[in-house]
Chain A
């Protein structure tokens, strides 16, 4: 994993401003329902960005479209300069995109180790996988203690560690996170955001979808706000935090 970090830094300097993952005028439909409307997004190497929005604003659909679980009806999903609209999820995972799903969604009947190894399902470099396992243990010593336990028996915080560890095992260059603070005890939420920041500082781009706008913007570089499938705000995190419209709609009660 440490090797991968260096790679990412290299890419940043040589291919500056080539987005890792990009939406160009993306529209999606579920049946006749128009979900995403001409959405433009771009995630650049090493960035920590967040997507905010209320319920049913299209946040989860955005993630699913980025991963290829939902096909866009028009527009382009671009992965490192290549249009990947009709490529399967596995192609995107192989090329450095992965997600920590909402509510962690570990394989509860499998052991912690099996969960982590499944994260590296598409890789066959045994030494690299072993090295990344060690990296995950370094990041989360607790996970190593629980290695042979069934994932379903872990606490919420531990499950979150395994979920992030599992995602890291695929050697991503961009990590998508769906509601990382959802369902965590308040004390763990801060710890969780610290962790996301730490992973980002090691060179990985993070794209996070969050309800907790205040917390997300406090660590993010940039952010977008989705409203009924349209990007209504696209700005740096600082400006978003200062934006009166934003304050009223999303930060008011937080």
Chain B
């Protein structure tokens, strides 16, 4: 084929490749060590995942075959029901992460910084839920009229979390609106410590337990061959309704249009007559409300809350927001669900067959490995847009 190409074309082609080679050599010289290190991590992680999954498949086919027993002599594999159970736990917990992640994503969208105190907004919701449900349980209403009590604690949690988020914006972030983005970021870490310690001061450091859930709710139900605890089903339902409501608000209402306009260009949004400050407050309020709902879901799923409850779910929800592409709302929800499923399934599907000891305690490691994977392979997230140079500045 090369013989048919004219001299000019050959010349051009050669010139092109020489140019590319020069650029490659240059960039290789600039970042070689870091680059090689990152490639090494990429290869390592991908190998780990692929080998883990292959070993898992080998286990499933026949626990006696040599590949299955290569790393883990006690390999037993998972039954279909066990797998479905893991998936359901992962989904319900992931839906909760997703609801928190929405707050990270929305605030990032309008103000361009990560509000690390958002986990504390979630904790405030969970704490409110505990206080209210504890009172209900003392008066007996929790047992006699569970659904009404649940509705009330959800509303209370939404109110408290919304208020926390709005106050946070007003007191800590608005005065820093004009400063470089790093400053509100660091401030948010301070706000986080402040709220954690304030809650510890007021309510004490002990672990608080939500009252027992009614039997009819927590019993196993079977839906389309999936065995799922009623609680998890309720969590999924509440999360789906909240997400639907949020989608409607953002995509279909005037307030939502204003929020998206402010996220894109504050000056021009103001030119349209939009009150930018009020819209930013609304964004914090809506993100706070979602975190409040997530707080109650946490209470239902784990039935315990402390002043530190916001930390780990907060960081994981932030991870979920990054996985989905920060600033992208459906991305945050999908990121949450993927992260929840991954941390529920991966320990048994990938790590157990590799013979890693104590896999059930490696959920968090898996979650943050997912973060590392996304940052290594697609830093803008699954649904994130490539930031334009102007946005990055």
A binding-site residues for B, Cβ under 8 Å: 67, 69, 89-90, 93-94, 98-99, 101, 105, 107-110, 114, 117-119, 121-122, 166, 170
Q: Which residues of A contact B264 (CB under 8 A)?
A: 107-110
Q: Which residues of B contact A114 (CB under 8 A)?
A: 257, 260
| Complex interface: chain B residues within 8 A of A121 (CB) | 254, 257-258, 272-274
- Give the tally of cross-chain contacts (CB within 8 A): 55
Instruction: Please name the residue on chain A nearest to B270 by beta carbon.
Output: A89
- Min CB distance A160 to B, Å, is 15
* B271:A93 contact, CB within 8 angstroms: yes
Q: Show 20 residue pairs from A and B whose CB-CB distance is below 8 angstroms, ordered by the A residue.
A: A69-B267, A89-B273, A90-B270, A90-B273, A90-B275, A93-B272, A101-B267, A105-B267, A107-B264, A110-B257, A110-B264, A114-B260, A117-B257, A118-B258, A118-B274, A121-B254, A121-B257, A121-B273, A170-B272, A170-B273
Is there contact, CB below 8 Å, between A105 and B265? yes
Q: Shortest beta-carbon distance, A175 to chain B, in Å? A: 12
- Selected contact of A101 from candidates B257, B268, B275, CB within 8 Å: B268
User: Which residues on A sit within 8 Å (CB–CB) of B265?
Assistant: 105, 107
Q: Which partner residue on chain B sits nearest A114 by CB separation? A: B257
Q: Would you call B261 an interface residue if the criterion is a C-beta within 8 Å of the partner chain's C-beta atoms?
A: yes
B272 with A119: CB separation less than 8 A = yes
Judge whether B271 and A89 touch: CB under 8 Å: yes
Given A107-B260, A107-B265, A117-B257: A122 in contact with B271 (beta carbons within 8 A): no
Chain B residues in 8 Å Cβ range of A69 = 267, 270
CA distance A89 to B271 in the complex (A): 6
Q: How far, in Å, is A171 (CB) from chain B's closest CB?
A: 12
Q: Give bound CA distance, A67 to B273, whole Å.
A: 11
Complex: A90 Cα to B272 Cα, angstroms: 7
Instruction: For the A-B complex with A101-B271, A118-B257 known, give 13 more contacts whose Cβ atoms are closer than 8 Å.
Output: A69-B270, A89-B271, A90-B275, A94-B273, A99-B271, A101-B267, A105-B267, A105-B268, A107-B264, A109-B260, A110-B261, A121-B274, A122-B273
Chain A residues in 8 Å Cβ range of B258: 118, 121
A109 to B269, CA, bound (A): 13
Residue pair A98, B271 in contact (C-beta under 8 Å): yes
Q: How far is the CB of B266 from chain A (nearest CB, A)?
A: 11
Q: With A107-B260, A109-B260, A110-B261 as given contacts, are A118 and B267 in contact (CB-CB < 8 Å)?
A: no
Task: Provide the residues of chain A in CB contact with B275, threshold 8 Å.
Answer: 90
- Interface residues, chain B, with chain A CB atoms under 8 Å away: 254, 257-258, 260-261, 264-265, 267-275
For the complex, what is the distance from the CA of A69 to the CA of B275, rounded to whole Å?
13
| 9 pairs of A and B residues whose beta carbons are closest in the complex | A122-B273, A90-B273, A93-B273, A121-B272, A105-B268, A121-B273, A107-B264, A118-B272, A89-B270
C-alpha gap A108/B269 in the complex (Å): 12
When chains A and B are docked, how far (Å) is the Cα of A122 from the Cα of B261?
A: 14
Docked CA distance A149–B49 (Å): 40
Please, which residues of chain A bring their CB within 8 A of the CB of B269? 118
Cα A69 to Cα B270 in complex, Å, equals 9
B273 and A107 within 8 A (CB):
no
Q: Is there contact, CB below 8 Å, between A107 and B261?
A: yes
- CB-nearest residue of chain B relative to A67? B271
A251 to B253, CA, bound (A): 49
Nearest chain B CB to A123 CB, angstrom units: 9
Distance in Å: Cβ of A99 to nearest Cβ of chain B? 6
CB neighbours (8 Å) of A101 from chain B are 267-268, 271
Q: What is the CB-to-nearest-CB distance from A102 to chain B, in angstroms, rounded to a whole number?
A: 11
- On chain A, the residues within 8 Å of B261 by CB distance are 107, 110, 118
Closest to A115 in B: B261
- Measured CA separation A105–B264 after assembly (Å): 10
How many whole Å from B142's CB to the nearest CB in chain A?
Answer: 45
Complex formed: what's the CA distance from A108 to B258 in Å?
14
B268 & A107 in contact (Cβ 8 Å cutoff) = yes
CA distance A216 to B157 in the complex (A): 59
Q: How distant is B109 from chain A, measured CB to nearest CB, in Å?
A: 10
For residue A124, give the distance in angstroms from its CB to the closest CB of chain B. 9
Minimum C-beta distance from B391 to chain A (A): 10
Q: Closest residue to B251 on the A side, CB-wise?
A: A114
- Chain A residue, CB-CB nearest to B260: A110
Minimum CB–CB distance for B357 against chain A, Å: 48
Docked complex Cα distance between A98 and B267 (Å): 13
- B177 shortest CB reach to chain A, Å: 15
- Please give, as numbers and ranges, the residues of chain B lying within 8 Å of A90 by CB-CB distance: 270, 273-275
Q: With a CB–CB cut-off of 8 A, which chain A residues contact B270?
A: 69, 89-90
CA distance A121 to B255 in the complex (A): 10
Bound complex: CA A98 to CA B273 (Å)? 9
Cα(A180)–Cα(B154), bound, Å: 52
- In the docked arrangement, what's the CA distance between A117 and B258, Å? 11
B265 to chain A, nearest CB (A): 6
Which residues of B have CB within 8 Å of A170? 272-273
Q: Which residue of A has the minimal Cβ distance to B258?
A: A121
Kindly list chain A residues whose C-beta atoms are within 8 Å of the C-beta of B271: 67, 89, 93, 98-99, 101
Residue of chain A at shortest CB distance from B254? A121
- Chain A residues near B257: list those with CB within 8 A: 110, 114, 117-118, 121
Please, which residue of chain A has its CB at the minimum distance from the CB of B275? A90
CA distance A27 to B42 in the complex (A): 59
Measured in the bound complex, the distance between the Cα atoms of B272 and A105 in whole Å is: 12
CA distance A145 to B183 in the complex (A): 45
